[in-house]
């Protein structure tokens, strides 16, 4: 398969995979199979998948660097936008199904409940990322695009904290996400260290290193 075609089928695969949890939720809703507390179920499922896709999108660059898989690079945007889609559904579920536009309670929640504050902040971080994900915006922002999109790490950290703060006693599930995020951040730090070390070498040394002498 030529690279462009492989690219395309990979994108289609990622989009389909991204749509599956949503499709599954819709099937459950239509067959009245969401359980005793449907609103809670929808909130949990959309929240879980927002976090999962966010972490998947953050694993694209480390995979590319570690294993030289250049073909995964285009998946970053697809996975990131899928995460944003689930985050929007999660937020809308809270806004409409859970609180039914009761703004007084929503404002109180966002200001006073720290897990809501963390979750809402994570959502706010994702908004500019989704808005600047088009080719035109990437071109327009130029060099500023990269530092802006480091917000994805902050969003993921806030989302994990949101999860940790809302569970009653069993921290195992949020801790799995915390471990995954720590690993991803650790890899980033490793890449950064390696790069800054190679930058410190004189151009001549770097050149000789590159040529393997």
Q: What is the binding site for another protein (CB under 8 A)?
A: 35-37, 39-40, 97-100, 105, 108-109, 113-115, 165-166, 168-170, 172
Q: Given the complex with another protein, which of 143 and 168 has the nearer CB atom?
A: 168
In angstroms, the CA 154 to CA 163 distance is 14
Nearest to 6 by CA among 75, 67, 62, 63: 75
Q: Given the complex with another protein, which of 40 and 151 has the nearer CB atom?
A: 40
Cβ neighbors of 87 (< 8 A, separation 6 or more) are 46, 50, 54, 122, 123, 126
In angstroms, the CA 134 to CA 88 distance is 18
**14 within 8 A of 79, measured Cβ to Cβ:** yes
Q: Given the complex with another protein, which of 121 and 133 has the nearer CB atom?
A: 121
Q: Given the complex with another protein, which of 151 and 166 has the nearer CB atom?
A: 166
Q: Given the complex with another protein, which of 58 and 116 has the nearer CB atom?
A: 116
In angstroms, the CA 141 to CA 149 distance is 11
**What's the first-to-final CA gap in the chain, in angstroms?**
36
In angstroms, the CA 83 to CA 6 distance is 23
Q: Given the complex with another protein, which of 31 and 169 has the nearer CB atom?
A: 169
CB 123 → another protein: shortest distance, Å? Answer: 18
CB 128 → another protein: shortest distance, Å? Answer: 28
CB 27 → another protein: shortest distance, Å? Answer: 18
CB 90 → another protein: shortest distance, Å? Answer: 16
Give one DSSP letter per residue of 106-142, joined into a string: HHHHHHH-HHHHHHHHHHHHHHHHHHT-SHHHHHHHG
**22 within 8 A of 52, measured Cβ to Cβ:** no
CB 169 → another protein: shortest distance, Å? Answer: 5
CB 125 → another protein: shortest distance, Å? Answer: 22
């Amino acid at each position: 398969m030529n690279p462009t075609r492989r690219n395309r089928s990979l994108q289609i695969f990622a989009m389909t995979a991204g749509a599956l949890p949503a499709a599954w939720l819709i099937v459950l809703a239509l067959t009245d199979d969401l359980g005793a507390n449907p609103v809670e179920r929808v909130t949990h499922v959309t929240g879980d998948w927002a976090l999962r896709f966010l972490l998947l999108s953050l694993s694209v660059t480390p995979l590319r660097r570690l294993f030289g898989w250049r073909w995964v690079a285009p998946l970053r945007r697809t996975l990131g936008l899928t995460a944003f889609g689930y985050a929007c559904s999660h937020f809308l579920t809270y806004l409409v199904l859970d609180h039914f536009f009761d703004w007084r309670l929503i404002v109180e929640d966002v200001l006073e409940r720290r897990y809501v504050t963390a979750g809402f902040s994570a959502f706010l971080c994702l908004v500019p990322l989704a808005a600047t994900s088009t080719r035109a915006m990437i071109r327009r922002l130029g060099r500023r695009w990269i530092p802006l999109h480091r917000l994805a790490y902050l969003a993921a950290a806030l989302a994990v904290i949101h999860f940790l703060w809302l569970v009653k006693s069993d921290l195992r599930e949020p801790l799995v996400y915390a471990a995954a995020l720590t690993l991803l951040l650790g890899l980033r730090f490793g890449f950064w260290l390696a790069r800054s070390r190679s930058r410190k070498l004189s151009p001549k040394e770097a050149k000789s290193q590159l040529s393997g002498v």
